[in-house]
Amino acid sequence: MIKNTLINCGGRLLDLSSPKVMGIMNLTPDSFYAGSRIQTEKEAIIRAENILNEGGTIIDLGAYSSRPGAEHISFDEEFARLRQAMEAVCRHFPQTFISIDTFRAEIVRRLYDEFGAFIVNDISAGEFDHEMIPEVARLKLPYIAMHMRGTPQTMQLYTEYGNIGDELTQYFVTKVEALRKAGIIDLIIDPGFGFAKTIENNYQLLAQLADLRLAGCPILVGMSRKSMFYKPLETTADKVLAATIAANTIALQNGADILRVHDVKEATQTIAVWRWSQDCKKEPRLQEPRMQESGLQEPRIRTATQAGLII
């Protein structure tokens, strides 16, 4: 099936003909990786600037922790966290692509009414709130549908699969057909590494990721610093950047279009090196690869040093 690589976000086109980086902004106090936690408006602005300067294309705002066993929070608390960060990002970086990590349709409705179009990143693929799919279709928003079973509180009870690659391929082929019938045009799929999956499941899925291309949608992968690395390596989330880079390289080889990460600069470099290697398959004499040739964006926000304010 031919994959649509142009995502329409309120009239602006996100071009996924080459892989892009989505930078994570966690607005939760209990995110599994402490280095990603953002609590204030000032921290949100600094984090957004860093994501863009390091080559990120999308800023993903999340205010509901979905780590295994995470505490459930109210609508009001989630909305308040998201609204503060989105207002700051939209005010300082108005042309940035933003994704909102939520499963609540009312969150989408209210943020859209105030700030306009964004990408909806739904860990439940519409299963937690049955108003979500009709609302996304009505607003004509891009939609990321992720695979999981159960809830963040129960998902690790549902990790039995036959062939995980086959099961998720069938799941997404069926899900994408249903979402298109519901009126959602711009779709991205996320296999949900770590969501209702054992460590072994995650590696089986990574090895079979290319099978998901049968769904005909861009593929997002979110493996950054997860327990699939730090548990078998017997370390902690802050010490598995190299493992994340290795896994993201495999994901790119197997068809990933978006890398959702905490460490944007490293992911940008990973994509650049991968692209240069792909280009050399087509043109063995490729010389002196440059950032613009990788399909990635140059930093769009000048730092104080770049502006000549610091010597």
For residue 40, what are the contacts with CB-CB under 8 A and spacing of at least 6? none
Q: Is 223 within 8 Å of 9 (Cβ atoms)?
A: no
Which tokens belong to 205? 């899925």
Q: Is 52 within 8 Å of 96 (Cβ atoms)?
A: yes
Helix H or strand E segment including 25: strand 20-26
User: How far is residue 310 CA from its own chain's centroid?
Assistant: 34
CA nearest to 78, candidates 65, 59, 97, 87: 65
Bridge partners of residue 53, in order along the sequence: none
Q: Using CA atoms in the order 169, 99, 258, 158, what is the torsion angle rounded to 10 degrees?
A: -40
Q: Is 179 within 8 Å of 145 (Cβ atoms)?
A: yes
Catalytic (active-site) positions = 226, 260
Alpha-carbon gap, residue 284 to 288, rounded angstroms: 12
Kind of pairing between the strands at 12-15 and 20-26? unpaired
How many other CB atoms are there within 10 angstroms of residue 170's CB atom? 14
Which tokens belong to 16? 């996924």
User: How far is residue 290 CA from its own chain's centroid?
Assistant: 25
Alpha-carbon gap, residue 86 to 264, rounded angstroms: 19
Q: What value does the CA radius of gyration of the chain take, rounded to a whole number of Å?
A: 19
Alpha-carbon gap, residue 122 to 114, rounded angstroms: 20
